Amino acid sequence: MPKFDFEVITLGHGSGGLLTQRLLQSGVFDILKNDKLDQQHDGAILDISGKIAISTDSYVISPLFFEGGNIGDLAINGTVNDLAMCGAMAKYLTLSFIIEEGLSMEDFWAILVSIKNAADHAGVEIVTGDTKVVEKGKGDKIFINTSGVGIVHPEAKIHHNRIGLGDKIILSGPIAAHGIAIMSHRKGLEFETTIASDTRNLNFVVADLLDNFGEKIHFLRDATRGGVASVLNEVAGITKLGYLLEQKSIKIDEQVEGACEMLGLDPLYVANEGVFLAIVSESIADDFVKKLHQNGFEDAAIVGEVNEEHPSKVIMKSKIGGRRVVNYLTGEQLPRIC
């Protein structure tokens, strides 16, 4: 961490004047350095050809720091993954901060380092951004917005209208780790655990899957806020098809499962930040899972199928053979989870 001549961020650092320049020049531009950001402009000119995808998201997570990450890498991975779920490889991101007066430079620097590392790992450049500071009590330390642009894979034809009867539902890994990792650090609810957030970039594995299986991948979605249940209910409602899940095939870490039971949470609704759902042609499902295993997603598995029973509904077949409807989440199970 470089030496700063101020320990906390003040309203003046968002004024656009001298203090803003001191904040930006004290390390922000240097750590995120690239030829486009070096222009220090409010916008960026990009040279892109072909079909592109664009996405934006805002991050208001509390607490800022948690086991496995912080708001910085979450903001990068989140937008990179939203583009990946469109079948696109993220190329450029914008980065905007809304900072509450009084945020320590130590915390701000730790978040910047995390942003830098996550961007490098995902192979994306931060090309422009913005910084605003609000009065103490008008925010919660820091909020981040990222927008991204990515190039769509030539073989990607990902759309809910391509989901068909007999398609297999595949989960890339164990669910609910991110939500429980955050809950374990929530003020008033802390409990000891080694559970870490699963935040990670998914762009490279999705590109490899598209290289190998192309248009036989019908649908992709990362199961973030609202979890697996919300994603499947959304597509069930749109496609009017039935979605049958096999509980025994859905992987959940033992600690995560125990924490969910303790907190009265259904893991199907708990947020993930590095797990995605794929709905693919039955003909490639086994090979698709093998490819995920080869990419380090050892717990990937086929967890269900699309059928004509119970149209527009998600049904779970329990480990003992019973069946229940998995409805939409009602209310907010875990506020400010991302």
Q: Which of 16-25, 29-38, 123-132, 243-252 has the lowest mean pLDDT?
A: 16-25
Look at residue 123 and tell me whether its pLDDT is greater than 70.
Answer: yes
Coil, strand, or helix at residue 51?
coil
Residue with tokens 């980065």: 95
Q: What is the pLDDT of residue 187?
A: 59
Q: What is the pLDDT of residue 23?
A: 82
For the beta carbon of residue 257, count every other beta carbon within 10 angstroms.
Answer: 16
Look at residue 115 and tell me whether its pLDDT is greater than 80.
Answer: yes
Residue of higher predicted confidence among 306 and 194: 306
Look at residue 37 and tell me whether its pLDDT is greater than 80.
Answer: yes
The tens digit of pLDDT for each residue in 131-176 reads 999 999 999 999 999 999 999 999 999 999 999 999 999 999 999 9
The tens digit of pLDDT for each residue in 61-80 reads 999 999 999 999 999 999 99
Look at residue 197 and tell me whether its pLDDT is greater than 70.
Answer: yes
Q: What is the pLDDT of residue 2?
A: 74
* Residues 6+ away with beta carbon under 8 Å from 289: 170, 300, 301, 302
Describe the strand order of the beta sheet including 88-100 as a list of residue ranges.
52-59, 142-152, 88-100, 125-134
Q: What is the pLDDT of residue 26?
A: 75
Calculate helix-pair angle for 105-122, 71-84, nearest 10 degrees: 30
Share of the chain above pLDDT 70, in %: 98
Give the chain's mean pLDDT. Answer: 93
Look at residue 107 and tell me whether its pLDDT is greater than 90.
Answer: yes
Residue 35 pairs in a beta bridge with none
Share of the chain above pLDDT 90, in %: 82
Once rounded to an integer, what is the mean pLDDT over residues 190-204? Answer: 88
Classify residue 3 by its DSSP letter.
Answer: -
Q: What is the pLDDT of residue 25?
A: 83
d(CA 27, CA 105): 11
d(CA 194, CA 68): 10
Q: What is the pLDDT of residue 336?
A: 81
Hey, what are 151's tokens? 């190039």
Look at residue 285 and tell me whether its pLDDT is greater than 90.
Answer: yes
Q: What is the pLDDT of residue 171?
A: 98
d(CA 116, CA 112): 6
Q: What is the pLDDT of residue 189?
A: 62
d(CA 236, CA 163): 10
Once rounded to an integer, what is the mean pLDDT over residues 109-136? Answer: 96
Q: What is the pLDDT of residue 185?
A: 80
Confidence of residue 262 (pLDDT cuts 50, 70, 90): confident
Look at residue 190 and tell me whether its pLDDT is greater than 70.
Answer: no
For the beta carbon of residue 233, count every other beta carbon within 10 angstroms.
Answer: 20
Once rounded to an integer, what is the mean pLDDT over residues 52-61? Answer: 97
Once rounded to an integer, what is the mean pLDDT over residues 287-291? Answer: 98
Look at residue 279 and tell me whether its pLDDT is greater than 80.
Answer: yes
d(CA 39, CA 230): 42
Burial label, 331 (beta-carbon count in 10 A; 0-12, 13-18, 19+) = exposed
d(CA 338, CA 124): 20
Confidence of residue 188 (pLDDT cuts 50, 70, 90): low
Look at residue 332 and tell me whether its pLDDT is greater than 90.
Answer: no
d(CA 105, CA 31): 14
d(CA 292, CA 220): 14
d(CA 293, CA 300): 7
Residue of higher predicted confidence among 275 and 38: 275
The length of the chain in residues reads 338
Hey, what are 209's tokens? 């899957």
Look at residue 247 and tell me whether its pLDDT is greater than 80.
Answer: yes
Backbone angles phi, psi at 192, to 5 degrees: -75, 130
